[in-house]
Amino acid sequence: MIRCKGIEKSFSGKKVLSGIDMDINDGQIFGLLGPSGAGKTTLIKIITGQLGYDGGSAVIMDKEAKDLTREDNRNIGIMMDNFGVYDRFSCTDNLKVFADIYGTPYGKISESLELVGLKDAVKKSASDLSKGMRARLQLARVFMHSPEILFLDEPTSGLDPRSSKAIHRIILDKKKEGRTIFLTTHNMEEAHELCDTVALLNEGRIVDIGAPDELCRKYDHKKTISVHLNTGEDIEFPCGEESGRKIGELIGSGKVETIHSSEPNLETVFLELTGKKLEEE
């Protein structure tokens, strides 16, 4: 569905993307993780044909991104962090504009608003919506014409946990419907929860790519199991047969309160690979 090979992009002589390679299959949620300024939005703009590139190839729906036509764009839904809504319009009127452009029946508007949980706000002016509701309105706009590929640039950026959860649920529902979703985020928990594959982007380069669990296991250098006992004692066992037997005995004796393996999370993996944190403090 999306294939990038050696994408290069510079702005005023400064390289912002270098040798980007990745394959995204149909029906997958692909997460691009990186701190602010890593080149995530630039890559989305290149793949969606909004921005040219200096080298390499970006193929989407079997077509070079720069050759995408207006008809191709109808199969792509984009929600960018900085995209706006018509403040003076109600939610319904906001979507009417795009229903007219896409030739979507107006009946789909209430369906889309219901899908994102804005059923009760259909007549509410966009200027009166909270940040989370505005994000959901943008999602409704993206979903309304049922595109095959969804590009969601930091869809939960700055939202409260409840709104973020609501958006996660919608994204997972869309995956179930078979949509391909390209997601950028600097929230590693979000990436772990939603994505089938994640690419870690730093200073315009992909430093590693793979399934979130695989990546975490790959960088598990300690390979230990930590056990917290009800006596307050913490014991760390190296992975192995002997440790397994001992942990089994402890569990049997009813002393174990918690048990954890030592694989890192994506944040720690990113830190190890780049020396940087994903999320800004």
Contacts with other proteins by CB under 8 A lie at: 48, 50, 70, 73-74, 78, 80, 82-89, 93, 96-98, 100-103, 141
What are 250's two structure tokens?
A: 């402890």
The Cα 138–Cα 148 span in angstroms is: 17
Closest among 2, 48, 51 to 24, alpha carbons compared: 2
CB nearer to other proteins: give 98 or 246. Answer: 98
What are 195's two structure tokens?
A: 């994505």
Minimum separation from the CB atom of position 150 to other proteins (A) = 13
CB nearer to other proteins: give 148 or 196. Answer: 148
Contacts of 117 (CB under 8 A, 6+ apart): 136, 166
Minimum separation from the CB atom of position 22 to other proteins (A) = 22
The Cα 207–Cα 38 span in angstroms is: 11
Minimum separation from the CB atom of position 180 to other proteins (A) = 18
Closest among 42, 34, 93, 33 to 65, alpha carbons compared: 42
Minimum separation from the CB atom of position 104 to other proteins (A) = 11
Minimum separation from the CB atom of position 69 to other proteins (A) = 9
CB nearer to other proteins: give 125 or 226. Answer: 125
CB nearer to other proteins: give 87 or 279. Answer: 87
CB nearer to other proteins: give 74 or 205. Answer: 74
What are 92's two structure tokens?
A: 């319904």
In which residue are the tokens 């973020």 written? 164
φ, ψ for residue 34 (rounded to 5)?
Answer: 180, 155
